[in-house]
Amino acid sequence: MQNNLIFYVEFDVKPECVERFIQGATQVLEAMSKESTFVSTQFHRHADNPTKFSLYEVWNEPSMEDFMKNQLNGKQYRDDYEAYLPDLLASPRTFSVLEPIGSWEK
């Protein structure tokens, strides 16, 4: 996992756009899960705020720049989503690239 790109994305969605956001995000996640460098993702709604969502993504890409070049450009399923996403959000989404320290599982 140490060579993987790991990042966290947060979305603040307008209350009236929540269902459209979930539908669109789920379609993108289904399509991106078929990409060759995709490893995993987790999609969450915050328990204390039903209009806040998070993605935790793991990719076999060397950097965020490579990810953006390889995964964001020229993908029809992303282009469509990116075109309407800003209208659904109450504020711009935030990205945080994460550096792994350790992992524990049972």
Is 59 a member of any domain?
yes
pTM score, whole prediction: 0.89
Q: What is residue 8's predicted lDDT score, i.e. its pLDDT?
A: 95
Residue 58 to residues 86, 102, 103, Cα–Cα distance (Å): 24, 15, 14
Query: Which range of residues forms the domain containing residue 86?
Result: 5-98
Q: Does 78 reside within a domain? A: yes
pLDDT for 1 beyond 60: no
pLDDT exceeding 70 applies to what percent of the chain?
Answer: 98
Q: Is residue 2 very low, low, confident or very high in pLDDT (cuts 50, 70, 90)?
A: low
pLDDT tens per residue, range 24-67: 999 999 999 999 999 999 999 999 999 999 999 999 998 889 99
In a domain, 106, yes or no: no
Average pLDDT over residues 102-106: 88
- Domain at 32, CATH number: 3.30.70.100
Domain count, the chain: 1
pLDDT at 102: 85
Number of Cα atoms under 13 Å in the Cβ half of residue 73: 7
pLDDT band at 103 (very low <50, low <70, confident <90, very high): confident
The answer to whether residue 44 sits within a structural domain is: yes
Residue 90 lies in a domain: yes
Examine residue 105 and state whether it is found in any structural domain, yes or no.
no
Specify whether the CB–CB gap between 89 and 13 falls below 8 A. Answer: yes
Contact residues for 94 (Cβ-Cβ < 8 A; gap 6+): 9, 10
State residue 73's pLDDT score: 79
